[in-house]
Amino acid sequence: MSQIKIFDTTLRDGEQSPGVNLNKQEKLEIARQLERFGVDRMEAGFPASSRGDFESVKAIADTVKNTSVIGLARTIKSDIDIAWDALKGAEKPAIHIFVATSPIHMTYKLKKTPEEVVETAVRMVSYAKQKFNDIEWSAEDATRSDWDFLAQIIEKVIDAGATVINLPDTVGYTTPAEYGKLFRYIKENVPNINRVALSCHCHDDLGMAVANSIAAVENGATQVEGTINGIGERAGNAALEEVAVALKIRSDYYPFETGLKLDEIKRTSDLVSKLTGMYVQANKAIIGRNAFAHESGIHQDGVLKNAETYEIITPEMVGVTSNTLFLGKHSGRHAFKDKIKEFGVELTDDEVKNAFDQFKTLTDHKKEVTDDDLYTIVMEIKTDSSTVGKYHLENFQVQYSTENVPTATVILKTPDGKIAKKSCPGQGSVEALYKTIDNIIEETIKLVDYQLNSVGGGKDALAESHVQLIIDGEAVNGRGSAQDVLQASANAFINAVNRYIIKRSTAGKKMLVNE
């Protein structure tokens, strides 16, 4: 078995998903979990892109110890300098420098000749080498580039000091056979290729990102890049949990293994889903809610006789345990704290107190409080612990009957600490509620997506709502949970607005200089 390295880019390419906007604390939380999951390398962000990204990459670099922390940079000196400032405190710092190599990108985006692209790439890799030992170089849009040109530029950037060469399928255009051939070609036509590691990076526009990544591995790639739950730009990136479990389950066929702790998959997936507000579809491979559900009578009968008839993966292998009854009405704070520790989430004393109070309230209304319920409460608190400078829902009321027009009345505390109260009618309860909140909030808001799900089963289950809003032209995701569906819906809406406000005041300050 040869060992394949896993390069996680959830915090960089994954964060480029529309509406996703993680703050520093949330990024740190995900970084810690990625370290626990056992990824070899994590791309923490693009330090030169904004003050917020710089701060987050720096915090991750200063915290994570066992995983190499990487920052993205263009072939620009200031990007490399800023990346070094953010990463120099890391145990294993690395830089990821990219430049486009396809004719369409070089002509229209970069407005450079191929010779100029080679010259810039070599000059910037040499420059970065003065600071970083570990340099990954990416040929953006490699799969639409001329293979001979790729071989020439790769040879030169290796001589300049690159230690990893990545061939991204930037627009998700390639096929498994073609991508495999590209890796073989580069291995056979770049004389110094054995001095570096070869990496694949696939997008899922044609639904082939995981298959393409595995084809690359079969043809010489020793590193796979991707994200948790496959989140990312447009259709997303290769889902790392799918790559890892495919290699494990088909180890009779693939002589490759990863160092990932597969039983951390569920926890990692849940954390990323909750913090990004990107709901995992029920039929998603490995980790979707239905991945281990058997609906048809024939399948159920087979599984009862022998689980292997229809189950190739056990839930335990990927960390899916039965959603056990957690603690009851009479459980004490001590047992509660221990349970939170098991989740791997760090809470301040105030946050623990708040979570405990909410747990106690829930036990008054819900017969069985499960791990999933508690995790939902904890994540709600993690993102909404401070109300300073944000909107806060003080109170609301919705009147609904099948005969009359639904009407909502909402009392909100605004970011400047004032109390605002309004009422509005709507076609339905949620519309009335959202219209009223929208009326109080200054920003121009459009609701583009709204989802409501239950956390587990039962009539008394917690409700979890996800929304995507366009605020002042920018997509932002929000989520909220509560026992009541309208309260969860209101929380999700306000959460998205608050995320936008925070982003505007901190992370939104762009630092990018022109390429």
**Residue whose CB is less far from ligand KIV, 32 or 201:** 201
13 part of the interface to Zn ion, by CB under 5 A = yes
Give the Cα separation of 515 and 510 in Å (integer): 14
**Residues between 361 and 380 with contacts to Zn ion, criterion CB under 5 A:** none
Per CB under 6 A, 170 contacts ligand KIV: yes
Which phi and psi angles does 410 have, rounded to 5°? -130, 135
Least Å distance, CB 168 to Zn ion, is 6
Given candidates 75, 138, 370, 491, which one binds ligand KIV under the rule CB under 6 A? 138
> Residue 169 interacts with Zn ion (CB under 5 A)?
no
Do 239 and 286 contact (CB within 8 A), yes or no? yes
The answer to whether residues 42 and 69 touch, using CB atoms and an 8 Å cutoff, is yes
Least CB distance from residue 160 to ligand KIV, whole Å? 18
Nearer to Zn ion, 13 or 384 (CB): 13
Q: Give the integer Cα–Cα distance in Å for 146 and 100.
A: 12
β pairing state of 2-8 and 256-258 = parallel
Question: Closest distance between Zn ion and the C-beta of residue 43, in Å?
Answer: 10
Q: How far is the CB of 59 from ligand KIV (least distance, A)?
A: 22
CB of 12 to ligand KIV, least distance (A): 8
Interface map 92-131 toward ligand KIV (x if CB under 6 A):
------x---------------------------------
Task: Please say which residue, 140 or 464, places its beta carbon nearer to ligand KIV.
Answer: 140
Contact status, residue 478 vs residue 277, Cβ threshold 8 Å: yes
Q: Least distance (Å) from ligand KIV to the CB of residue 45?
A: 12
Q: Toward ligand KIV, which CB reaches closer, 43 or 270?
A: 43
Closer to ligand KIV at the Cβ: 13 or 371?
13
Closest CB to ligand KIV among 225 and 270? 225
The two tokens of residue 389 are 């400078």
Least distance to ligand KIV from the beta carbon of 13, Å? 5
Nearer to ligand KIV, 19 or 168 (CB): 168
Least distance (Å) between residue 52 CB and ligand KIV: 19
- Please tell me the count of residues contacting Zn ion according to CB under 5 A: 1
DSSP 72-120: EEES-HHHHHHHHHHHTTSSSEEEEEEEE-SHHIIIIII---HHHHHHH
**Stretch in the footprint of Zn ion (CB under 5 A) among 7-15, 282-290, 341-349, 507-515:** 7-15
> By CB neighbour count within 10 A (0-12 exposed, 13-18 middle, 19+ buried), where does 89 fall?
middle
- 140 counts as binding ligand KIV under rule CB under 6 A: yes
Minimum CB distance to Zn ion smaller for 165 or for 355: 165
Buried b / exposed e over 310-328, threshold 16 CB at 10 Å, is eeebeeeebbbeeeeebbe
DSSP per-residue letters across 173-216: ---HHHHHHHHHHHHHH-TTGGGSEEEEEEB-TTS-HHHHHHHH
Question: Which of 437, 379, 441 is closest to 416 using CA atoms?
Answer: 441
Taking CB under 6 A as the criterion, which residues in 176-215 touch ligand KIV?
201, 203
Residue identified by tokens 């281990």 is 292
User: For residue 43, what is the DSSP state?
Assistant: E
User: Which residues of 205-336 form beta strands (DSSP E)?
Assistant: 223-226, 256-258
- Does 438 bind ligand KIV (CB under 6 A)? Our answer is no
Binding pattern to ligand KIV, positions 349-388, x when CB under 6 A?
Answer: ----------------------------------------
Question: Which residues, including other chains, have CB under 8 Å from residue 400's CB and lie 6 or more apart?
Answer: 406, 428, 429
The residues that touch ligand KIV, with contacts defined as CB under 6 A, are 13, 98, 138, 140, 168, 170, 201, 203
The residues that touch Zn ion, with contacts defined as CB under 5 A, are 13
